[in-house]
Structure 1
């Protein structure tokens, strides 16, 4: 009699391997109706009770059925026994494609072994299907097309009973690397367009040469010029080729999209975004993207608080700035109204001034600072090194302009009182 296993030596990884891998389960109603009007709370309670705990995920498909991803194979076996949800008869079954993965191997030693024998030997490695990739070969190009033979290439498509593709597979004593199987783009054989299969196509049959409505019988060749219906609407692409040509730009684009979806495990919309970024195409701007770009642009365009910009702005707004003595001599000629003052300032030429040193506080122009500070919630910052008042970065341009205008107004008012006192003393 063998001893029982030591449960203390069983790690979490070993326990997960014993439970099995996750599975995808489809739940359908027996009356062919959807779960749109079924309460999501009842669905969760029914699924959790059947599985003995919460599952990895659950969502509703386009046709109204439930797609459930379990955490392990044990939950999947329990969920397959579910028969009722909210007094409705249901049927649970495994998904036909999501629980499987396809890969490609190359083994020259399997060229002359049939597919059934290979499948029988690889079943212990969870292989469910084996298909060889053949190549058409015509020994004589001048002979009839019926003499074309199929030649093995050594490439084999293997389907595994797992949603995760293994990295290697054992072929006898050899170790062969498994690569992702990238299928051809989905194209309708009736209308020759991409994105849907032939059985659900509602369009008319299209000629494989000129892309018009089929006008030839079986065995006859179209004599019109070649024209591709997938490329003729794009002026940047050449459309003078057959729509089934492997060198078609649209076919190459869809082939790359299929490769992105297969290798990166993403949906079609995400694959298109990756494709556009890879080839430098500009995607359509959304509201959030436009708002973000506008905020970033306003932040980068905000002027930096330095001495040069502040002095330049003050010179532009007060180009006739002169010392006190000159201002007192010409104060009688200066109008008192603000509109006339603005007109007079715009007509005067720009004057060059001597640059003052701002190393000490006494060297600053005291006339620029008003006697009364404007009432605002923003406070100016006085740096210890430069000894100059600067505006914070978060202050808007309108507030800055209004503050400077109030300073000029206070300066003019001060000059007016100074002139009146001088005239009274005389």
Structure 2
């Protein structure tokens, strides 16, 4: 069975964590690409951004990036910002202070990326890292190869999952002298083996156990 191998006003002193975040954000600026969605959160848990008035939040973003496409408050008190221009994303990601409190700004981990599937036998002898490095100029930031377990052995296949640093999935990529079609990656739906419904796992299930055969309350088979 195939298994997926996914497995600034007053400036603050930059820490190692800030440097790590900067390196992660750089992948979204490759080849004239830029992140549309950015998350702004308070660096001080005792002073969340959600405590600011809507007027202060609006004026704060206006001062840093001008008129944004959209601004949404998330459950954890941070703000999801959609940019309409590259300069807005650049200015926001350089921000360390917002209104009157320190903040941490990062690229949203899923809204700015897309996943696709390619099948190419010519890549069978290359490692995931080698393929990623060769395709980096086309926006590929992650490569995972599908493997098949047969007779106790894990066998690599010619099917590869690619993660791109942009939300719009390309129809094809150039692999050396080849043009390879890219198909949309559709993950398997989550299914709870406690109640047999989709959308969550058994660890988070709040329903009584159901029989997988008849759908009624679980009973001795």
Partner of 1:162 in structure 2?
166
Identify, as 1 or 2, the structure richer in helix. Answer: 1
Given candidates 145, 148, 151, the residue that maps to 1:132 is 145
Give the aligned partner of residue 68 of structure 1: 81
Distance in 1 of aligned mates of 2:194 and 2:43? 34
Asked if 2 retains the 8 angstrom alpha-carbon contact of 1:115 and 1:130, the reply is yes
The verdict on how the C-alpha distance between 1:189 and 1:123 changes in structure 2, with shifts beyond 3 A counting, is: farther
Deviation of the 1:70 alpha carbon: 0.9
What is the count of residue pairs matched by the alignment? Answer: 188
Does structure 1 conserve the Cα–Cα contact (< 8 Å) formed by 2:37 and 2:112?
A: yes
Distance 1:19 1:111, change over 3 A: closer
* Equivalent-residue separation in structure 2 for 1:56 and 1:232 (angstroms): 46
User: When the two structures are superposed, what TM-score results if normalisation uses the length of structure 2?
Assistant: 0.72
Aligned match of 2:16: none
How many angstroms does 1:190 deviate by? 7.9
Deviations 1:279-338 (A, max 9, x none): xxxxxxxxxxxxxxxxxxxxxxxxxxxxxxxxxxxxxxxxxxxxxxxxxxxxxxxxxxxx
- The structure having more radius of gyration, on CA atoms, is 1
Among candidates 39, 45, 54, match of residue 59 of structure 2:
45
Match for residue 72 of structure 2?
Answer: 59
1:177-230, Cα deviation, whole Å (9 max, x unpaired) = 1111001112457887543357x73769x9xxxx68xxxxxxxxxxxxxx318x
Displacement of 1:77 = 1.3
Q: In structure 1, what is the equivalent of residue 126 of structure 2?
A: 113
Could you tell me how far 1:137 is from its partner in structure 2? 1.7
Which ranges in structure 2 are unaligned for 5 or more consecutive residues?
1-30
The correspondence of residues 304-343 of structure 1 with structure 2, limited to 5 A, is: none
Supply the distance in 1 between the matched residues of 2:193 and 2:133 (Cα, whole angstroms): 35
Secondary structure of the residue aligned to 1:116 is helix
For residues 79 and 155 of structure 2, the distance between their equivalents in structure 1, rounded to whole angstroms, comes to 44
Higher relative contact order (CA 8 A, sep 6+): 2
Give the RMSD, CA atoms, in angstroms. Answer: 3.1
Q: Which residue of 2 aligns with 1:201?
A: 204
Indicate the SS of the match to 1:90.
strand
Counterpart secondary structure, 1:46: helix
Contact in 1 for aligned 2:196/2:212 (Cα 8 Å): no
- Paired position in structure 1 for 2:212: 228
- Distance in 2 (CA, whole Å) between partners of 1:197 and 1:107 is 34
Query: CA-to-partner distance for each residue in 1:30-64, whole Å, 9 max, x for gaps?
Result: 2336544422222111112111x211111111222
1:177 corresponds to 2:181: yes
Q: TM-score of the superposition, structure 1-length normalised?
A: 0.39
Cα distance in structure 2, aligned partners of 1:63 and 1:202: 23
**Selected match of 1:153 from 157, 172, 179:** 157
Query: Counting strand residues as a fraction of each chain, which structure ranks higher?
Result: 2
**Aligned equivalents of 1:31 and 1:192: distance in 2?**
41
Tell me, yes or no, if the aligned pair for 2:34 and 2:89 is still in contact at 8 Å: no
Alpha-carbon distance change, 111 to 192 in structure 1, aligned in 2, over 3 angstroms: farther
Matches within 5 A, 1:264-343: none
Change (3 A) 1:96 1:169: same
Q: Is the 8 A contact 1:190 1:201 kept in 2?
A: no
Judged with a 3 Å threshold, the aligned counterparts in structure 2 of structure 1 residues 104 and 66 are, in CA distance, closer, same or farther, namely same
Deviation string for 1:75-121 (max 9, x for gaps)? 11100122333423222111112111110011111122221111111
Inter-CA distance 118–22: structure 2 relative to 1 (3 Å threshold): closer
